[in-house]
Structure 1
Amino acid sequence: MSNALNSIFKARSVAIVGASKDPSKRGNQAIRKLRADGYEGRIFPINPKETEILGIGAYPSILAVRERIDVVLICTPARTLPSILEQCGQKNVPGAVILAAGFSEIGAEGEAIAQATLEAARKNNVRVIGPNTNGVFNLQNKMNMVGVQDVEPGNIGICSQSGNMMLAFVTEAKRRGGVGFSSYVGVGNQLDVTLAEYLEYFGEDNDTKASVFYVEGFQDGRAFLDTCRHVTQKKPVVVYKSGRTEAGQVAASSHTGSLASSFDLTRHLLRQAGATVVEQSDKILSIAEGLSKLTVPKGGRVAILADGGGHATITVDALVDAGVELAELSTGTVAKLNNVLPTAASCVNPVDVAGGTDDDPSVSAQCAEIILADDNVDILMIIGMYGGFAERFNPALLDNEIETSQRLAELPEKYGKPLIVQSVYNTVRPKPIEVLKEAGVPVFVWPEPAVRCISELIDYARARTRNALSPLIVPDGPTEQGKAILSGVIGEGRDAFYEHEAKDLLVQYGVSVPPQMLATCEADLKQVPVDLGNGPMAMKIVSQDILHKSDAGGVRLKISGEDELRSAYKDILANARGHDPEADLRGVLVAPMADSGVEVIIGVVHDAMFGPVMMFGLGGIFVEVLKDVSFRALPMSRADAESMIDDIQSSKILEGVRGALPVDKTALVDLMMKISQLALAHPEIREIDLNPVILRHDGYAVVDARMILNSKGQ
């Protein structure tokens, strides 16, 4: 953990630079809020024009304070920052929170101030939160330097690039009850401290059980991914990434480049690192609440205990839609439930008590314990009107229901399994519901949000296990022959490989590539039957100036016999010259036609924010229309590659349809890992595009390969 961040969030002393007697100023509001909340640390108002503020002795400068200062809240204009940070350095202050705006967002003048501020911070070993932040709070430390009122304390940490989003969370938490926050930081311009560092802090903070990140943009996405992969082994990380419609930063010089749009890529990479990615802002807090409270399940089988058919049916539908498995109760469990419930009850999953709890709510706890004791059950959902029996049927049931809630709240720890409740009475907050919430059991009004929470919990558990058990695979380095092939391309001043060169490089990393022959004149075609056989051939133009060969009429398929080979050769060259008269034509590549199968695309792109990223999806000519693709950051594990395959919507096609045999997924994963090794061994290659790769039940065929270098091969 960053010692500076720990000093800031758990500060035992706070200096307010720009402290004021004016109640409308942040330098006044901060002091008032700290005192109102009972902050137990020292407060040092800094104002050279005042001797006291709000009854506290004021100081003319930071240097005038003789005691230790853990954090400085700076409420003065941007131009004052370098000199203030210089004083912080002389005083050995570890951190500063800067409220001022007016930096790079206002142009060159602001950029100059920002640079001077950063240089002063680095020179004086002061970590800076902001600038342009609305502050930080730590409710365990009773330190609220944001000024927001009535914040519920709890175990969720918030890191946000929007102050309004923090206000939305705080307001929603107050309305719902039972959910609160440990710490908050508004990151502002991220001049110094990055999102990855805040994530590391929350990961180490014992008061934080889950963290929420509202992100508009990453400054160092790879650092965040690496930190997230580590932190999510200990606790959940919930991320909402805004700006889903932004165009990708990668130039669309290949299919892979054009499909690597920022949000889709970011979403997949965050999930790979174990984060829970939420795409609807009104679901952020409810999911974070559930993940912060629920026991991480060992599996994903869900049982339902309901007191009515309607909500049970809705819940089952939602679970099925989410791809969540319904538990099959053991015969012993069914027998025990039959002994407890009336004859009209349904004792298979979902369990419908059929009025068996109406006059005795404690039966809910009996049934819940029976179900949670079943080895076939990983998660239990209680559905319906629990918490409202006293209000619905008989006020005399209230004490019974409160005691039942206390019993229910003990079950997750006893059995090591999560319990989640959906109750129509949640909004009116009856005492039995409040008892559950206070004990850490999440309660929802509607089934769908509860199911979404369960689904994300299961995904989190699986990602944590996957990342723990399947290590990232990093290459030893480039092969000598691979370096020679690359040097040849760079030596000719090209930024793109010819297809045969790309395939030759693939071979160096263990990729199986069909035989091929470069024909530079018609006479070369006589060698085709000798080198490649007598079967039908595929012929393609070879030119660094023509990347999309089909569009230029530079491809001919199913060519047989010397006459057809010659005719196709002439046509391909003529079409290429017609497409681009200035194109440098190096010949025609001839290879045997690949057997039929499922066409997929495998690509690698160097993203400006996240570094090397692999893409996988259905391939062929419609790949950019269907856009059914998945992404993973490199290096990746075999488990990452396997999950990549499952992530595409059309993954069932790979299982075999209409009598077709399933593709060889083991060979596919092997291929993906080899491409990963190649890409990591040769960072000079900006884009790799294998499209199509034809998958069969007994292997694969790389039909086309395209590789593009970084500028000047760097």
Structure 2
Amino acid sequence: MSLLSSLYPGALMVVGASADPTKRGFQSVRALLRDGFQGAIYPINPKLTELQGLVCYPDIQSVPGQPELALICTPAISLPDVLQQCGLKGVQTAIVLASGFAESGSEGEALQQQSLAVAQRYGVRLIGPNTSGVFNTHARMNLVGFSDLHAGPLGILSQSGNMALSLVTEGSQQLHSGFSSYIGVGNAADLGFHDYLDYFAADQGTGALVAYLEGLTDGRAFLQAARRFTARKPLVLYKSGKSESGQKAARSHTGALAGSYQVARGVMRQAGVVLVEQPDHLLPVAEALATQPLPQGRRIAILADGGGHATIAADALDALGLTLAELSPTTQDGLKALLPRGAAVSNPVDVAGGTDSDPLNFARCAELLLQDPGVDQLLLVGLFGGYALRFDVSLADAERLTAVQLAELARMASKPLLVHSLYALSRPKPLQQLVEQGIPVYAGIDAAVAALKALADYAAYRQRGEQDDLLTGQGEASLRAARLLTGVRQQGRTALLEPEARQLLGTFEVPLPEACWLQTPDELQQLDGQWLEQPLAMKVVSRDVLHKSDAGGVKLNLLGLAALQRGWQQIEQQVLSHQPEARLEGMLLAPMASAPGTEVIIGVTHDSQYGHLLMFGLGGIFVEVLKDVVFRALPLSRADAWDMLAGIQSARVLEGVRGQPPVDKQALVELLLKVSALVVAHPEIEELDLNPVRCHREGYTLLDARVLLATAASGAMSAAGAEATGMAELADGVQRLH
């Protein structure tokens, strides 16, 4: 709330005001006066008594009253002293423009920390340092110096000043609805991305937020703030640093870590963030989300005045997973009555010249399409808005009336209407009227279709219920798991043996195939007929061998006592040849999985930015070759789990292909939720791999499990683990599996 009041200030100071028109200390004062800022402006410079008609003060303490906001234009080295003076004056927030802090090396990092300590001592919040500034059009406060700003619903949050300038310039050159506030994040020494999300969520002037992100220092806080934000408003984000070279550039630019783009894509989708793949889609997508009602589904109708644009639009819809709406017979009959004989009236609808002499036919056709219950969104493509320019000036009035009617029809239907026009960059009056009435206009079909997809995706996110969707690891199950993990810790180990990993999963009721752990080859002779009369898999049990196959620690299809004895001997020889120091703790026997199925991988890892992440994808050999996996942050909701199954590129494989039966998706979802509950209850688990999990028409077979604990137990031990520590029964360790 202090940030909200600071960016709607009753008074502000420009510390380091200047008479030089090339300096920010001059430009900011000029912009405030030009735009009609209603609050008090206090320029501060000991060498000036007047600046642009304003009284100039020699120092901060000379300023009358108590300004909420300070724009600091002085060099980096002066910042600690300036912040102290701001604190003594009661300033709430300081915007620090100077560079030369953490982004510049160790000395700059030390200066940044010193400045932050002063700010925290006096209760001053910092925007920056190394920020391009802030504007708030609704408060007529432009502290960046951008020109051609007009008030509207789009907020901008950016780690790059040039990206913000690019967005503002794009907006001034094209038809758009206007901006609310902009904040340049800079080094985020104090206030970070997540803090600003809370500001934009509370700001009544912001309807949707456009964000440019390079890296995060606190990914968990960002995700929590993003969930709060997207529950109220759309957040459209472009994440740079997709490649290794891009990640290096991001680190040198802001001092932040970019992290894995694949991970970022998954966790941001989970938080309801609309992640665009192209930076030039930021504004088009945000325009739609800020101005249009949310659709009921993904069914799109296309209304075109040319077959080429109609086909291009249909291809773009299909590429992004949207659906061409199936028009009702009533709608098609109505279109036939309006259009020439050669018109296409299914979908896409091609008016075939039916609007060339009467643009109002667009509105009549749009009315039929918007009223069709099978249509969720309407896209108009072609040259609307340019009829008077293309054909004859006498069509201008009809086009302007058509624009008014289109906007009214969309409001009445409460369905999104987006318009693509060849003449968008020419900004003719009919297209200006559409934008003024809340209908987005696009110069490119791809951008328009990206906006349609964003509307459908965000609507689905808002519609899905997440109440009571989380499985939690409570009670006796978690206590049993904690006893097991504490026993492993007491033996000085961080890697669970596979039998222990199986037992751990069993405490959370994960169904497991039968298995037998033998510690010496002599125990083979004690096996009964059940084990000797079926083909078995034999796997080495060793705290030192994490990848059994690579070390020769797996033998398959062993039938009978003699084969088992030979297999044991061969595994011992191969493993010790591969790892001479490996400690062998027996063999795990399990019946060969005879039922065919689709193999998937489920894994958990701990990410430095986002915390524990759950991974799902095709397993077995495919995980290394295709890398077709998706990530979500824990805890996982049921909706998240279903979304993961649909999110891999090979999702159709789960439906059954080439004679394979479809997999039991419900069972997979339950497995994902149980793994999530286990790790959330026991955050000391740093890595968990279930690969492969063979999925069948009913249920699944878990063929291998691996669990690693964090190196340091302190701070990561679960509550149940702490409770279980010291229990007498732990002295005996983990019981053998039989």
Residue in 2 aligned with 1:453? Answer: 451
Residue in 1 aligned with 2:399? Answer: 401
CA contact (8 A) 2:336 2:345 kept: yes
CA contact (8 A) 1:213 1:239 kept: yes
Q: Which range moves more in the overlay, 468-477 or 268-277?
A: 468-477
* Aligned mates of 1:193, 1:673 — CA distance in 2: 34
Residues 393-451 of structure 1: per-residue CA shift (max 9 Å, x gap): 22111101101101111122211100011111222222111111221211122322211
Equivalent residue letter for 1:321: A
Deviation at 1:499, TM superposition (A): 0.6
Equivalent residue letter for 1:615: M
Residues 561-597 of structure 1: per-residue CA shift (max 9 Å, x gap): 1111000110011100000101111111111112321
CA contact (8 A) 1:246 1:263 kept: no
For the pair 1:240 / 2:242, whether they are aligned, the reply is: no
Residue in 1 aligned with 2:374? Answer: 376
Give the match's secondary structure for 1:32.
Answer: helix
For the pair 1:627 / 2:627, whether they are aligned, the reply is: yes
Equivalent residue letter for 2:398: N
Residues 77-134 of structure 1: per-residue CA shift (max 9 Å, x gap): 2232222222222222111101122222333332222112111111111111001111
For the pair 1:340 / 2:338, whether they are aligned, the reply is: yes
For the pair 1:502 / 2:496, whether they are aligned, the reply is: no
Deviation at 1:472, TM superposition (A): 4.1
Correspondence list, 1:71-90, <5 A:
71-90=69-88
* Aligned mates of 2:271, 2:691 — CA distance in 1: 27
Residue in 1 aligned with 2:158? Answer: 160
CA contact (8 A) 2:200 2:209 kept: yes
Correspondence list, 1:105-120, <5 A:
105-120=103-118
* Aligned mates of 1:354, 1:346 — CA distance in 2: 7
Deviation at 1:473, TM superposition (A): 4.1
Q: How many residues matched?
A: 702
Give the match's secondary structure for 1:550.
Answer: coil
Deviation at 1:468, TM superposition (A): 5.3
* Aligned mates of 1:393, 1:326 — CA distance in 2: 31
Correspondence list, 1:42-121, <5 A:
42-121=40-119
CA contact (8 A) 1:412 1:419 kept: yes
Q: Which range moves more in the overlay, 37-46 or 386-395?
A: 386-395
Deviation at 1:464, TM superposition (A): 1.9
Give the match's secondary structure for 1:571.
Answer: helix
Q: Which consecutive residues of structure 2, in runs of 5 or more, have no partner in the other structure?
A: 248-257, 715-738
For the pair 1:692 / 2:670, whether they are aligned, the reply is: no
Give the match's secondary structure for 1:692.
Answer: strand
Deviation at 1:178, TM superposition (A): 2.4
Residue in 1 aligned with 2:29? Answer: 31
Residue in 1 aligned with 2:722? Answer: none
Q: Which range moves more in the overlay, 171-180 or 495-504?
A: 171-180
The CA RMSD over aligned residues, in Å, is: 1.8
Residue in 2 aligned with 1:572? Answer: 571
* Aligned mates of 1:467, 1:65 — CA distance in 2: 53
Deviation at 1:474, TM superposition (A): 4.0
* Aligned mates of 1:7, 1:308 — CA distance in 2: 51
Deviation at 1:15, TM superposition (A): 0.2
Residue in 1 aligned with 2:655? Answer: 655
Residue in 2 aligned with 1:359? Answer: 357
Deviation at 1:363, TM superposition (A): 1.2
For the pair 1:218 / 2:216, whether they are aligned, the reply is: yes
Residue in 2 aligned with 1:683? Answer: 683
* Aligned mates of 1:492, 1:247 — CA distance in 2: 43
Residue in 2 aligned with 1:581? Answer: 580
Residue in 2 aligned with 1:526? Answer: 525
Match of 2:329 among 321, 328, 331: 331
Equivalent residue letter for 1:71: L
CA contact (8 A) 1:158 1:183 kept: yes
Give the match's secondary structure for 2:139.
Answer: coil
For the pair 1:559 / 2:572, whether they are aligned, the reply is: no
CA 1:686–1:628 in structure 2 vs 1: closer, same or farther (change >3 Å)?
Answer: same
Residue in 1 aligned with 2:318? Answer: 320
Match of 1:131 among 123, 129, 132: 129
Correspondence list, 1:160-309, <5 A:
160-246=158-244, 262-309=260-307
CA 1:261–1:706 in structure 2 vs 1: closer, same or farther (change >3 Å)?
Answer: farther
Deviation at 1:37, TM superposition (A): 1.6
Residues 54-75 of structure 1: per-residue CA shift (max 9 Å, x gap): 2211222222222120100111
Equivalent residue letter for 1:628: D
Residues 579-636 of structure 1: per-residue CA shift (max 9 Å, x gap): 0101111111111112321111001111111011100001113412210001111111
Residues 677-713 of structure 1: per-residue CA shift (max 9 Å, x gap): 1111111110001111111111111111001111133
Residue in 2 aligned with 1:255? Answer: none
Residue in 2 aligned with 1:492? Answer: 491
Residue in 2 aligned with 1:667? Answer: 667
Residue in 1 aligned with 2:149? Answer: 151
Equivalent residue letter for 2:684: E
* Aligned mates of 1:325, 1:529 — CA distance in 2: 59
Residue in 1 aligned with 2:596? Answer: 596
Equivalent residue letter for 1:608: S
Equivalent residue letter for 1:627: K
TM-score of the two chains, using structure 1 as the length reference = 0.95
Residue in 1 aligned with 2:638? Answer: 638
CA 1:528–1:593 in structure 2 vs 1: closer, same or farther (change >3 Å)?
Answer: farther
CA 1:247–1:687 in structure 2 vs 1: closer, same or farther (change >3 Å)?
Answer: farther
Percent identity of equivalent pairs? 50
Give the match's secondary structure for 2:614.
Answer: strand
Residue in 1 aligned with 2:717? Answer: none
Give the match's secondary structure for 2:22.
Answer: coil
* Aligned mates of 1:533, 1:316 — CA distance in 2: 61
Equivalent residue letter for 2:651: S
CA contact (8 A) 1:7 1:71 kept: no
Equivalent residue letter for 1:193: L
Equivalent residue letter for 1:16: V
Q: Which range moves more in the overlay, 629-638 or 225-234?
A: 225-234
* Aligned mates of 2:707, 2:389 — CA distance in 1: 69
